[in-house]
Amino acid sequence: MLAGCGGDQIAFGASGAWARPTPAGATNGVIYLELSSDVRDVLVAADVPTDIAGRAELHTSDAAGGDGHQHGAVGSGTVTMEQVAEVVIEAGATVKFRPGGNHIMLVDLAGPLESGDTFTATLRFSSGRTLDVPVTMSDNPPR
């Protein structure tokens, strides 16, 4: 966060990026993080090294059901997951990518994601800005 003359202002950036380790043979993984922007912007893509995954997709999950892919049971309903074309970040806001919500899906993993390993994901925005984000594999989010 940046402090400005008129009070606290949100900076453009990402924090707390992590991915759960995966077992051998897993084909998909996931990245969670928090994104903040000083101006309204739209996350439109994520890129990861090819030695991590074939591609990265923006996804969201919904505990209310819907037409996405069934992801798991929550209470009496299911959690559905669907690919989205973009994630809007309003000026001065932070968007959380968390289990059960927005996330970046790693598709066609090149191998298992192992605890303690790191890689860099590049996030691309409609404004033309990019962010290189270090991602750490961990069973739990960073504190």
Report yes or no: 123 and 14 within 8 Å, Cβ to Cβ.
yes
Q: Which residues contact 50 (CB under 8 A, 6 or more apart)?
A: 110
Report field, pTM of the whole predicted structure over 0.85: no
Domain-located, residue 142: no
pLDDT in single tens digits along all 143 residues of the chain: 333 444 567 899 999 999 999 999 999 999 999 999 999 999 999 999 999 999 999 999 886 544 444 444 445 567 788 999 999 999 999 999 999 999 999 999 999 999 999 999 999 999 999 999 999 999 988 87
Within-domain flag for 143: no
- Number of structural domains (the chain) is 1
Domain carrying residue 29:
2-134
Q: What is the CATH number of the domain that holds 101?
A: 2.60.40.1890
Reference 110, options 123, 98, 119; nearest CA is 119
Pairing relationship of beta strands 118-125 and 130-137 according to DSSP bridges: antiparallel
User: Does 68 map to a domain?
Assistant: yes
Question: Distance (Å, rounded) from C-alpha 92 to C-alpha 111?
Answer: 37
In a domain, 45, yes or no: yes
